[in-house]
Chains A and B, each alone.
Chain A
Amino acid sequence: AQSVTQPDIHITVSEGASLELRCNYSYGATPYLFWYVQSPGQGLQLLLKYFSGDTLVQGIKGFEAEFKRSQSSFNLRKPSVHWSDAAEYFCAVGGTGRRALTFGSGTRLQVQP
């Protein structure tokens, strides 16, 4: 069965600091991996996705993620966080064929001025 673990429920960083959000997955084949962001009261926005190829994936809003097969991880990074990045972030795996897209429980990011 596929699953996603986001070990950090809540993270606080200072504006301008770097950010790394952790994601570990379990999947029986080459995974499709995603990061979504949800601002308060809003829907889901796709930040980036990984299917194959280059293990460092660039996304929108200056985010990137690195796929590490040996560690079953797909961590999200940003070199300098902006106050507008405060939101909840979801890692997800799967979503092909009849498989559901399986989400992690989310990481809430707070940005301090």
Chain B
Amino acid sequence: EAQVTQNPRYLITVTGKKLTVTCSQNMNHEYMSWYRQDPGLGLRQIYYSMNVEVTDKGDVPEGYKVSRKEKRNFPLILESPSPNQTSLYFCASRKLQAPRSSYEQYFGPGTRLTVT
């Protein structure tokens, strides 16, 4: 089954304690990205990757890091989390280039992070 998985699904942590949210896809997609969802703001892209070892900033990258060492995995790293990073996070993947007829974008189930 084609899917994007995220772990953990729920996380409560304290300010300054480094954490990693994992994301993995089984569809051999080149493009992966992270979004955060906040009330009244919709989803905003944090970082994206167009392939292994190719990453770039999205709209709200401050306070986050990513890496893409393998095609299937795209972890999100918060080196020193702060309360303003309390949010719902989604990982997504798709093919970098696809004909319109076969375009698909997949989202993970989300990770709810609370930073106290």
Contact = CB atoms under 8 A, between A and B. Distances in A.
A105 B40 contact: yes
B81 interface: no
Contact size class for B? 20 to 34
- Which 9 residue pairs are nearest across A and B when measured between Cβ atoms? A103-B42, A51-B100, A100-B45, A103-B43, A105-B42, A43-B109, A44-B107, A43-B110, A106-B42
Contacts of B42: 4, 90, 103-106
Nearest to B58: A100
Contacts of B100: 32, 51-52
Interface of A: 4, 9, 32, 34, 43-44, 46, 49, 51-52, 90, 92, 95-98, 100-106
A4 B42 CA distance: 10
B109 A100 contact: no
Given A51-B100, A101-B33, A103-B42, 20 more contacts: A32-B103, A34-B105, A43-B90, A43-B107, A44-B110, A51-B103, A52-B100, A90-B42, A90-B43, A92-B43, A96-B97, A98-B31, A98-B56, A98-B96, A100-B48, A100-B59, A101-B45, A101-B105, A103-B35, A104-B42
B105 A95 contact: yes
Contacts of A51: 100-101, 103
